[in-house]
Amino acid sequence: MKVAVFSSKSYDREFLCAANSSVGHELRFLEVRLSPETAALAMGAEAICAFVNDDIGEPVLQELAKLGVQLVALRCAGFNNVDLEAACNLGIRVARVPAYSPYAVAEHTTALILALNRKIHRAYNRVREGNFALEGLLGFDLRGKTVGIVGTGKIGEAFARIMAGFGSKLLANDLKPNPVCEALGVTYVSREELFRRSDIVSLHCPLTPETHYMIRSETLPQLKRGAMLINTSRGAVVETPAVIQGLKDGTIGSLGLDVYEEEGDLFYENLSDRFIPDDVFARLLTFPNVLITGHQAFFTKEALTNIAETTIANFSAFVDCGCATHEVSVEKIAGPGR
Ligand code: NAD
């Protein structure tokens, strides 16, 4: 299959080429993000491969359909950046990688919690400057603290296992309980109760109309005062200006983010020789109790290997039988369990 791979970085090339070595699809790597302005670069391709910050809205899909593209293969789990209805109407199939390493994201979430709690980012800088004072570095034991998990699918479940190991009390909110989590001792409660009781709130739900701005100025006062908030799901689950206000007035004690609503203009690029064009993001960076990583929770060797192998398998299945192995469609997401 002829494939145009958008937003590709050196590591995408490395892992996709390795997975494709015995298969032989024709992969054309493009560094640019997919957008209405760049969609024409897919000319000659039967499929495109895209990532989290590519724009796969209706205008892009119309352009891809005109070029004869039949398959959009996402090399990620989330598909909030795709207009599935438009794809369906245009006869373009959409595939994704539903699970590549929930452990990668769950472990990164834990890294954010530990670093924020024990102020590792501040301690690292202090020690390098010969400052061994402990003032300002006080943390708390995770054992016995209440951790609230919103979304207990694959990642939420892996995260629950880790936090159970710390001896934390676990609360969760989901559309339906996960029996594995229940067996771990997770108690399912309403979202409001989870917010009210949790010392740490960690978000692991997809971005949907229902979860959009789940954390906003109206819901922030529901949080336990001084709680730690962690978002490794999708940026727009959190309304950033509201969270900045929460950090200023102490509602939020600390904030760990791997995702940001406007990350498409920042993440995966090296802007160190320029300036950060986003004033809201720049404001976030001024807080000592905020730790941000650039959508890297998935970024382990195991995850990249699985992403590449599943993506190549999606192309092969499409060639063999006309449909990819892991397709997403409007009907499927409207079905049970979502
Ligand atoms: P999943 O589909 O296995 O689990 C998602 C869970 O969220 C499901 O149990 C679902 O029922 C629940 N959910 C849906 N709507 C909800 C709502 N309104 N309230 C509460 N729960 C709700 O997905 P997953 O593999 O665990 O991934 C979760 C999310 O993590 C993805 O959608 C993606 O946005 C994000 N993600 C981030 C990274 C990263 O690198 N930061 C990597 C992979 C996935």
Mean pLDDT by 10 residues, the chain (338 residues): 98 98 97 97 98 96 98 95 96 95 97 98 98 98 98 98 98 98 98 98 97 98 98 97 98 98 92 93 98 97 97 97 90 46
- 60-109 confidence digits (pLDDT tens): 999 999 999 999 999 999 899 999 999 999 999 999 999 999 999 999 99
In angstroms, the CA 227 to CA 233 distance is 18
pLDDT value of position 333: 60
Any atom of ligand 1 within 6 Å of the Cβ of 154: yes
Burial of 246 (0-12, 13-18, 19+ CB in 10 A): buried
Strand order in the sheet with 71-74: 26-29, 2-5, 47-50, 71-74, 93-95, 327-328
Which atom of ligand 1 lies closest to the CA of 210? 18
All domains of the chain in start order, with CATH: 2-100+301-333 (3.40.50.720), 102-292 (3.40.50.720)
CA of 109 to the centre of ligand 1 (A): 13
> Of ligand 1's atoms, which has the minimum distance to the CA of residue 152?
9
Is any atom of ligand 1 closer than 6 Å to the C-beta of 298? yes
Contact of 28 with 4, CB cutoff 8 Å: yes
Q: How far apart are CA 71 and CA 94, in angstroms?
A: 6
As for the ipTM of the complex, it is 0.99
pLDDT of residue 338: 27
Active site residues: 234, 263, 295
Which pLDDT belongs to residue 330? Answer: 76
Structure confidence at residue 217 (pLDDT): 98
Say what the pLDDT of residue 332 is: 62
- Give me the amino acid identity at 213: Y
pLDDT tens sequence across 227-245: 999 999 999 999 999 999 9
Can you tell me which atom of ligand 1 is nearest the CA of 232?
41
Joined together, the tokens standing for residue 109 give 């979430």
Ligand 1 neighbour 51 (Cβ under 6 A)? no
Tell me what pLDDT residue 337 has: 30
Distance CA 161, CA 105 (A): 13
Number of other CB atoms surrounding residue 124 within 10 Å:
10
